[in-house]
Structure 1
């Protein structure tokens, strides 16, 4: 007897869902996938009518499916959202230039306006130039800091008040693992929040742009299958610098765990959500202020992006990747030299 879809009991299943093991036909899979995202959006109150939403678009599977599903659900459920595609060009030859061509095709396929900002225009550096200066060890740290700030600047440029990112359940679980392995307990709560921004500890500081994760509970495998069955146009090549990242090791560890216990991804997320920490100085994130140089939200007088740029421009790239105390020790001689030049 042929196996039937667990939902409709009539069609032949095309996949077994990794999160719960149910066998679904294509139609029922689409329905379940889209309905779960709709419930995540409504339960988490990610948007309100009239919001202008910048969808972080890289051309990869996650952001492509996010743009497709957000447009579909916005039309189906009448969210009343204005949707935009926002892309950041990090300046990685043979990777980002190719993926941006995919984003440009998505712009026409989905009928959404597109804004592209580059590291070169914003910071005067491309990631290729940064890697040439720093080597492969800490390049993802530079890219992550620059990208987070660039998304904020891009959203402001197109007058959006919400940023939607394609971070999926695997990404969230990886971040939780990384914070635990680093002993960074202060960021555990923030890493599990479905709505975050660069504001205060609760993520609701005035003047900052909230970031939402509609795919927080979506498995990466299901996003890939959804893109495949819908014949979506996306770019599948991994960043040429990513294999050296700390996240890559956490991802490999998580995949090994998932092969033994498929529910481990959601288990880790739920564990992170339920963790409660004693209110101590160690477990409390620093208060946020404004960077004295660029005006961005920062917990220090000078934000991380500006410190990194200072290091790159001064020929001391390690300036931006150390602990705050070490960074201050390195910066003092630089500031002293600057003061002497000004006195002269």
Structure 2
């Protein structure tokens, strides 16, 4: 009878220990806020546990290793940078490391970003290594690009450039016949102007048509962003264009010279590239702001002058003139 009592007590103690251990394994962890932990390439479970304890994601490295062997099934862990959620249990932490759910970092490149500003974004991105030169204008496809801590800046820019190369090749293969540009390079150059001239998606194809019509008849494009580019390399000008700048001959100024500029003035997005390769069916040669964030288009100079007069009237009402 006494032996039976001891056995029951022992079983009770074992069950209690298992319950306590299980609760510790699945219970709320110590992290009060999300913490970043880097598991180096080739790191053992012991090394990962040490990094987790140091970051405050777990309470005890030795206990984590023990529980991982008992409850975790002995699976391998994957290297990388992890974002451990606040209060994550030891079970959840091991699952993150086992599944390789590494933290995704992003560099965003908005449509129309000039390469000098792409360079700025890449150079200040946390976790990247090395340096990189300013990429060629028009060689980057605007998008959000994921990377991991330790990736090189050169590799990230190469991915951005490959994305543009691949997209342009596919878009060029589907171009409409009779468009004004004759090479993929010209398409990017014109698309960059379209990108800078309108932020209204519904207008892109018509703006592309206007510039295509002008190119065909040898009429200067007269695009203000091409005047600004040699001055700032694509950064905001912050003031009105000077009369002397409108007459400057530098290869980019489309007031001073007919035809396309010598190269792109920004990195155009997919929609602007598509607009140049499939412009609207329009005879318009002119456009001016309409006061609502868009533009009004005209086929003749007389129509355009009337539209300009309306725009000036709107600006006078707003106190801008």
Normalised to the residue count of structure 2, the TM-score between the two structures is 0.26
Structure of higher CA gyration radius: 2
Structure number with higher relative contact order (C-alpha < 8 Å, ≥ 6 residues apart): 1
TM-score (norm 1): 0.25
